[in-house]
Chains A and B, each alone.
Chain A
Amino acid sequence: MMKRIMCIIASLLVIASCLCPVAMAQPEKDYSHLKGTTINVYNWGEYISDGSEGSLDVNKEFEKRYGITVNYTNFESNENMYNKLISGGANYDVVIPSDYMIAKLAEEGLLAELDYENIPNHKYILDKYKGLYFDPDNKYCVPYTVGMVGLIYNTKMVDGTPDSWSIMWDERYAGKILIFNNPRDTFGIAQFLLGQSINTTDLKDWDAAIEKLKEQNPLVASYVMDEIFGKMENNEAAIAAYYAGDFLTMHDVNPDLAFCYPKEGVNFFVDAMCIPKNAQNKEAAELYINFMCEEEIAVANANYICYATPHALVLESDDYDLKGDPILYPDEANTPPTEIFENLDYETQQYMSMLWNELKIEGNSNIDAYVGLSASVVLVVVYMIYKFIKKKKREAYY
């Protein structure tokens, strides 16, 4: 009997000693007062583990644990997100923009300072992704993913193994090329090819880049963002520039796809979680950000999104499927020259968006429209004159 009690006590002790450090490390704050509230999370498309195909439904998990409703919506580009944020039509509590957009938002005073006391998991973010230029004092953001842009191509449709952005100007692939539907990324490709900096403020450089892009325009099938998944997976396009992580997702579906980092250089980006100034539920937003940095959740997201992670525990986790993936984490020899987007000054931004508009509407022949429309105008006028004469004749007759 005694033995048995001793046994129980001993095992209890073991359990307690196991539990204690965990409990000590994470003093569970009381969040019960947030129960029943809502947070609006605004994220990129396909950028969270959403429960499909047996993955963990991160938002549902958060709702279950804290009783806070997550209102999750998507944007398709940084510009799209910025627009929604400043139009004042909607309030968001958590947004996940990229580097240059964070710099822009911070500069315009649109971001709230984070209370890192509420985000203890921030310590798991690798130091090399902290204090980058867009948030030098670590005030506004917690990195969510990092990555590089690269070239995706279909081995069945493309000859050889491309290693340069110049293949996107190859006429053999006319109508089979996809390009970003956002100005920074698209200009970036032309700028790497021209050997410019992607952050140049010399307007002449931008002129040169737009000339290059106009040259390419007739070959491009369409401007896409996440529509690219369907198009590349179904062999509708041969060549596309997109984010490395998304290539892995596509490759799972269509093994004919291949990837390379062009030698001219690629854009390196950091997407990070921020809280806008006009957030209505900041405390819950911080809780959400902290939750996203929990090991289990971060692993689920990293596995689902396939982007490289800035999270130290994920990189070591055995559950992480993409550990050491050569595309996401290339060794030094295989790392292309990279450049990060910086926030351009206002004048350059304006100039760039003007050129971007121009690119979209020019470079196409509208002869059919001119001919057709003038023919119809002539027809209408002739018909009206005919009617008029007939009427006059009839009046004369009566």
Chain B
Amino acid sequence: MTKKTSLSSKLYTALVFIFLYAPIAVLILFSFNSGKSTSVFEGFSLYWYKELFNDAATLDAFKNSMIVAVASSIIATVMGTAAATAIFGYKNKLLKSSIMTVTNIPMMNPEIVTGISMMLLFVFVGSLFGKTGTLGFGTLIIAHTTFELPYVILNVLPKLRQTDPHLSEAAQDLGCTPFQAFFKVVLPAIMPGIISGLMMAFTLSVDDFIISYFVSGTSSQTLPIRIFSMTKRRVTPDMYALSTLIFLAILVLLVVSNLVSAHGDKKLSKKGGAKK
């Protein structure tokens, strides 16, 4: 009985993963195409990988993406962590719930509406000052920070709930200033939440297309926008080559971090066992 179910569950899992990976397999396959097409495979070659490093516009867009992602995720993490501590500390229930509602808006709202609302604001403010060309790196970073903030806050808040509130008081009783108490006691305790928030913010920023599409200007094309304008005409396989490289980099990173953490867990459990 169990064997049968496990076989069918294995089959099912396999099917879902085939579905998830089929387009990616196609993408990787065509990155090695010797021809120009992304739908007719003509032969194996590394031509497009070479071409990628000559494609200044794409590399530039990649660089822009990285700048925006790093800047916005750091701002969002710092501001979000501070906000989470504050929200956690608020005694006023109404204030707390209204802040949480506002925080949820960017997550619930369709991205297209968020993007449009931001663009309208920037253009409107620009026109108030009689300025054109308001859209650029600045607006891109503001918009990215805004949609990343809720994710940071929602990653940090649960960790704050898990930490013992008396810890901070104890530290203060022992002579720490509230400031020191926060940095020495609370911060290390919520660090895992902060890091996962940062990672999430970074990922969301790199992958975001819709919001960037509306708020980016002339000199701040990110990689997704570059890809979009390419899919409007013809996607050359060097784009596929780039994503294959990104894909492999992430794969390696994930595998290594998985191995390290698995290894660490084993060590930890061994240590624990020895102590017992």
Q: Does B9 contact A (CB under 8 A)?
A: no
Q: Please provide the chain A residues from 39 to 95 with a CB less than 8 Å away from any CB of chain B in the complex.
A: 40, 42, 45-46, 51-52, 60, 71-74, 76, 87-92
Q: Please provide the chain B residues from 155 to 213 with a CB less than 8 Å away from any CB of chain A in the complex.
A: none
Q: Please provide the chain B residues from 83 to 125 with a CB less than 8 Å away from any CB of chain A in the complex.
A: 119, 122-123
Q: Does B133 contact A (CB under 8 A)?
A: yes
Query: Across the interface, do B132 and A234 meet the contact criterion of CB distance under 8 Å?
Result: no
- A34–chain B nearest beta-carbon distance, Å: 17
Q: Does B229 contact A (CB under 8 A)?
A: yes
Interface string of B46-82 (1 = CB under 8 A from A): 0000000010110000000000000000000000000
Query: Across the interface, do B233 and A227 meet the contact criterion of CB distance under 8 Å?
Result: yes
Q: Which residues of B contact A45 (CB under 8 A)?
A: 229, 232-233
Q: Determine the distance from Cα of A131 to Cα of B221 in the docked complex, in whole angstroms.
A: 36
The residue from A89, A233, A280 contacting B126, defined by CB atoms under 8 A apart:
A89
Q: Does A126 contact B (CB under 8 A)?
A: no
Q: Determine the distance from Cα of A158 to Cα of B136 in the docked complex, in whole angstroms.
A: 48
Query: Across the interface, do B132 and A88 meet the contact criterion of CB distance under 8 Å?
Result: yes
Q: Which residues of A contact B37 (CB under 8 A)?
A: 230, 233-234
- A145–chain B nearest beta-carbon distance, Å: 16
Given contacts A233-B37, A278-B132, contact A89 B119 (CB under 8 A): yes
Q: Please provide the chain A residues from 253 to 302 with a CB less than 8 Å away from any CB of chain B in the complex.
A: 253, 278, 280
Q: Determine the distance from Cα of A230 to Cα of B132 in the docked complex, in whole angstroms.
A: 36
Given contacts A234-B39, A278-B133, contact A227 B232 (CB under 8 A): yes
Q: Does B34 contact A (CB under 8 A)?
A: no
Interface string of B224-268 (1 = CB under 8 A from A): 000001011111100000000000000000000000000000000
Given contacts A46-B233, A226-B234, contact A234 B119 (CB under 8 A): no
Query: Across the interface, do A89 and B122 meet the contact criterion of CB distance under 8 Å?
Result: yes
The residue from B54, B56, B135 contacting A90, defined by CB atoms under 8 A apart:
B135
- B223–chain A nearest beta-carbon distance, Å: 14
Q: Which residues of A contact B231 (CB under 8 A)?
A: 227
Q: Does B219 contact A (CB under 8 A)?
A: yes
Q: Does A169 contact B (CB under 8 A)?
A: no
Query: Across the interface, do A87 and B218 meet the contact criterion of CB distance under 8 Å?
Result: no
Q: Does A38 contact B (CB under 8 A)?
A: yes
Q: Determine the distance from Cα of A37 to Cα of B59 in the docked complex, in whole angstroms.
A: 20
Residue with the greatest number of chain A CB neighbours at <10 A, chosen from B215, B219, B235: B219
Q: Which residues of B contact A73 (CB under 8 A)?
A: 218, 221, 229
Closest residue to B133 on the A side, CB-wise?
A91
Q: Determine the distance from Cα of A253 to Cα of B215 in the docked complex, in whole angstroms.
A: 37
Q: Does A225 contact B (CB under 8 A)?
A: yes
Q: Which residues of A contact B123 (CB under 8 A)?
A: 87-89
Closest residue to B214 on the A side, CB-wise?
A89
- A87–chain B nearest beta-carbon distance, Å: 6
Query: Across the interface, do A88 and B134 meet the contact criterion of CB distance under 8 Å?
Result: yes
Q: Does A129 contact B (CB under 8 A)?
A: no
Given contacts A60-B56, A73-B221, A278-B132, contact A88 B40 (CB under 8 A): no
Q: Which residues of A contact B229 (CB under 8 A)?
A: 45, 73-74
Q: Determine the distance from Cα of A227 to Cα of B136 in the docked complex, in whole angstroms.
A: 27
Closest residue to B130 on the A side, CB-wise?
A88
Q: Which residues of B contact A51 (CB under 8 A)?
A: 54
Query: Across the interface, do A90 and B133 meet the contact criterion of CB distance under 8 Å?
Result: yes
Query: Across the interface, do B234 and A46 meet the contact criterion of CB distance under 8 Å?
Result: yes
Q: Determine the distance from Cα of A90 to Cα of B126 in the docked complex, in whole angstroms.
A: 11
Q: Which residues of B contact A278 (CB under 8 A)?
A: 132-133
Q: Determine the distance from Cα of A72 to Cα of B58 in the docked complex, in whole angstroms.
A: 12
Closest residue to B233 on the A side, CB-wise?
A226
Q: Which residues of A contact B122 (CB under 8 A)?
A: 89
Q: Does A229 contact B (CB under 8 A)?
A: yes
Q: Please provide the chain B residues from 139 to 168 with a CB less than 8 Å away from any CB of chain A in the complex.
A: none
Q: Does B127 contact A (CB under 8 A)?
A: yes
Q: Determine the distance from Cα of A92 to Cα of B217 in the docked complex, in whole angstroms.
A: 10
Q: Determine the distance from Cα of A92 to Cα of B56 in the docked complex, in whole angstroms.
A: 20
Closest residue to B139 on the A side, CB-wise?
A89
- A101–chain B nearest beta-carbon distance, Å: 19
The residue from A60, A91, A229 contacting B218, defined by CB atoms under 8 A apart:
A91
- A224–chain B nearest beta-carbon distance, Å: 9
Q: Determine the distance from Cα of A229 to Cα of B234 in the docked complex, in whole angstroms.
A: 7
Q: Determine the distance from Cα of A60 to Cα of B56 in the docked complex, in whole angstroms.
A: 9
Given contacts A226-B232, A230-B39, contact A71 B218 (CB under 8 A): yes
Query: Across the interface, do B232 and A40 meet the contact criterion of CB distance under 8 Å?
Result: no
Closest residue to B40 on the A side, CB-wise?
A234
Q: Which residues of B contact A280 (CB under 8 A)?
A: 133
Q: Which residues of A contact B219 (CB under 8 A)?
A: 38, 40, 71
- B184–chain A nearest beta-carbon distance, Å: 46
Q: Determine the distance from Cα of A52 to Cα of B133 in the docked complex, in whole angstroms.
A: 31
Q: Determine the distance from Cα of A91 to Cα of B5 in the docked complex, in whole angstroms.
A: 62
Q: Which residues of B contact A40 (CB under 8 A)?
A: 218-219
Q: Which residues of A contact B233 (CB under 8 A)?
A: 45-46, 74, 225-227, 229
11 A-B contacts, Cβ less than 8 Å apart? Answer: A40-B219, A42-B218, A45-B232, A88-B127, A89-B122, A89-B215, A90-B132, A91-B132, A227-B231, A227-B233, A233-B37
Binding site for B on A (CB under 8 A): 38, 40, 42, 45-46, 51-52, 60, 71-74, 76, 87-92, 225-227, 229-230, 233-234, 253, 278, 280
Apart from A71-B219, A88-B126: 10 A-B pairs, beta carbons within 8 A: A45-B233, A76-B232, A89-B134, A89-B135, A90-B132, A90-B218, A226-B233, A226-B234, A230-B38, A230-B234
